[in-house]
Structure 1
Amino acid sequence: MSTTSTLARPGSLQGARLPQWAPWAVAVTAVAVAVAVGLAAGLHSRVQWGLMAAVLFVLGTYALSAKVEGRRQAKDRVATSLVWVAFLLAVVPLLSLVWETVVRGVKVLDGYFLTHSMGTVADAEPGGGIYHAILGTAQQVGLATLIAAPIGVLTAIYLVEYGRGPLAKAVTFFVDVMTGIPSIVAGLFILSLMLMFDLQPFGFAGSLALAILMMPVVVRSTEEMLKLVPNELREASLALGVPRWRTILKVVLPTAIGGITTGVMLAIARIAGESAPVLLLVFGNPFINANPFEGAQASLPLYIYQQYVNSAGSTAAYDRAWAAALTLIAFVMVLNLVARGIARWKTPR
């Protein structure tokens, strides 16, 4: 593509085109004009500047393209510009959140912070750590995965390979309903069972609530992966006289294992940050409790909430809350990277 706009040559089907740098020039001009207008009007919010720049960018792109390339090509460029604006509107807040968390979280995030609990340290005092919260989160999420992953995978296998009739429709309906329930509802359900049996808060109760939230995600992701397995593979195996259950075990599941594993890992990442069920059922504990079946236990989301609530007049608790938030983000990011790696490793070739 030429670096300057070119006019259509006689006999050529290609009309005038904007240079490749034109959208960038329009974007820079839009930002400069938005900043100037914002300063002149006394607008100090960068969000307002960004919205004005986005509008000016779309309008400027259309005007310039319509003048040089024609209205039809201008509409195409406007659609592309809107896609870029929507992308930036989604990415900028995310990058801002990550940047803010990193800047505030690294103040106390060190080896001592990761390997010690709060113990006898008061919330207003410096020191302490999140080892007890990391241990609690790992145990609660691990137990929830042991419960939800097998049930979710087997349910998806039933729906795809065997599901016919009213039972399959009922299972599909309840899976759809469970996908949309708020996390607090799952916590209240387990809490009602605890009150019936007069049980005190303990870590496994939180795992049960997290498993309820995790199951529909595993079912849906596994179901989609199983549907992607070509029917020719199933038919070839059945034509050789292999039973259906063995075909599923030896042909279907190995083919879809990468996607299934990815779905399970993403479901784990989804429940790792849930705080409402943990607040109701686990209750929190400043000391290390390695037994999830007895006594209150800590977790990272609950730790963040408690430290932030108690941070009034205490910079130590405030810094610990941000450091724990950074740790939780890193944990979820590692899970997503592992899921992507497994998906790429297990993709059929």
Structure 2
Amino acid sequence: MTAPAQTPSAAPGRDPGLRGHRTPVLVLAGVAVVALGISAAICYGTGFGGWVLTVVLGLILYLVGAFVAVNRYEGRRAARDRTWGVLIRSAFVLALLPLVSVVWTLISKGWERLDLNFFTTSMNNIGARDPDGGAVHAIIGTLEQVAIAAAITIPLGVLAAVYIVEYGRGRFTLAIRFFVDVMTGIPSIVAGLFVLSFWVLIVTPWFNNGQPTFSGFAAALALSVLMLPTIVRSTEEMLRLVPAPLREGAYALGVPKWKTIVKVVIPTALPGIITGIMLSIARAAGETAPVLLVAGGSDAVNINPFENNQTSLSLFVFQQAGDASRFAPARAWTAALTLVALVLILTIAAKLLAGRNRLRR
């Protein structure tokens, strides 16, 4: 006896319960237009708010109207799904707006002094009515201070994290982790005061005939205090994410523990470690208070970080923003744009270097 042929509705993969009408795009567009119109009428008609409140209220009205429309065409489950999708996308746009606004403001206002004179001259002998003057002294100071702080902090931070994850046991490890967590919340001015009271006022007089000395190296020490907890915590988390079978496989082959850490664990976690290091460098490059307290600031170029006052881009921005000259704000904006571009270039270079090393392995 021949089996009856299946109808299209009963064919496999064609369950009509899983398929339904899609809400027309024109309906959703109409809901958006109506919601924005009602929102504008309420806000501007009553004079209660501007375009920001209009957009927010329009989004709320659109969510309500879209829920009703989708519920009619596709059902309650699809309506809830569509509503949450709009909320998630709106949260993403809302989180992206401040970043876009900052970048646009920096570019639009920092473009005015983005010339060769800004990158080849300093503020030495520049008066209030002089439109020239640049930030080469601040750029040199930032590069030297951040480089010294990174040279001090990166080995210490990575080794401390390796000890905590691979070797640490008992109360000593708990004490290290506790103090690292405490250091994470230290304000930058406290780090500057610590270096001022210890290095500048106690140590430097031994080498300068009893006179305390400001220097870029002192600023680098203060920045290293701020960088250390970030590097330790980020490196620790990255090392913990390395799968245990990688370590066990190396141990099974007779590889010593130190070589397993150097050849297996750290290379595997290297991209995350690089990210944490760049976050700490970005924070250090943008700090003003420590540099002001222990480096003093300077209008002239000082390529020696161990003697005399030195400035940085963040301190230069702070000083120019408070200067009475009408040419100072343009310098401040261009210096801020330069600082952001410098951190971006360093981050991209570090990522490319980490990716290249990973490909070679």
TM-score (norm 1): 0.88
Aligned to 1:187: 192
* Number of the residue aligned with 1:255: 268
Sort the Cα spacing of 1:53 and 1:333 in 2 relative to 1 into closer, same or farther, 3 A.
farther
- State the partner residue of 1:266: 279
Q: Equivalents in 1 of 2:228, 2:125: separation in Å?
A: 38
Residue 84 of structure 1 pairs with residue 103 of structure 2: no
1:137 equivalenced with 2:150 (yes/no): no
Alignment RMSD (CA, Å): 2.5
**Does residue 122 of structure 2 align to residue 109 of structure 1?**
no
Following TM superposition, by how much is the alpha carbon of 1:308 offset from its aligned partner in structure 2, in angstroms? Answer: 0.6
1:216 counterpart (226, 229, 239): 229
The aligned counterpart of 1:152 is: 157
- Residue 3 of structure 1: aligned partner: none
- 1:228 is matched with 241
Q: Give the Cα separation in 2 of the matches to 1:27 and 1:135.
A: 53
Q: Provide runs of 4+ in structure 1 moved above 4 Å.
A: 19-33, 346-349
State the alpha-carbon separation in 2 of the partners of residues 187 and 344 from structure 1.
Answer: 35
Provide, for residues 39-93 of structure 1, a one-character-per-residue CA deviation record: whole Å limited to 9, x for no partner: 3333564332332233233333323223333333322222222222221221112
What's the offset of the Cα at 1:320?
0.6
Deviation at 1:249, TM superposition (A): 1.8
Q: Which has the larger radius of gyration?
A: 2
> Would you say the 8 A contact 2:44–2:50 is kept in 1?
no
- Asked whether 1:68 is paired with 2:73, we answer yes
Change (3 A) 1:70 1:12: closer
Inter-partner Cα distance in structure 1 for 2:294 and 2:31? 54
Q: Is the 8 A contact 2:274 2:351 kept in 1?
A: no
Deviation at 1:339, TM superposition (A): 4.0
SS, match of residue 131 in structure 2: coil
Residues 246-266 of structure 1, C-alpha deviation per residue, up to 9 Å, x if partnerless?
221222223223332232123
| 1:246-293 alpha-carbon deviations (Å, 9 max, x no partner) | 221222223223332232123212221111211222221000011111
Aligned to 2:345: 334
Question: What is residue 4 of structure 1 aligned with on the other side?
Answer: none
Give the paired residue count: 339
Query: Which of these residues, 254, 260, 263, is aligned with residue 241 of structure 1?
Result: 254
C-alpha deviations, 1:95-120, integer Å up to 9, x for none? 11211111111111111111111110
Query: Could you tell me the percent identity over the aligned residues?
Result: 49
Question: TM-score if structure 2 supplies the norm length?
Answer: 0.85
For residues 331 and 33 of structure 1, do their structure 2 counterparts lie closer, same or farther at Cα, with a shift above 3 Å needed?
farther
Could you list the runs of 5+ residues in structure 1 that have no partner in the other structure?
A: 1-8
Question: 1:35 deviation in Å?
Answer: 4.0
What amino acid is the match of 2:279?
L
Supply the AA of the counterpart residue of 2:61.
Answer: L
Question: Following the alignment from structure 1 to structure 2, what is the Cα–Cα distance between the partners of residues 327 and 97?
Answer: 14
Q: 1:282 aligns with which of 269, 273, 295?
A: 295
Alignment CA distance shift 1:338-1:43 (3 Å): farther
**Distance in 2 (alpha carbons) for counterparts of 1:73 and 1:343:** 44
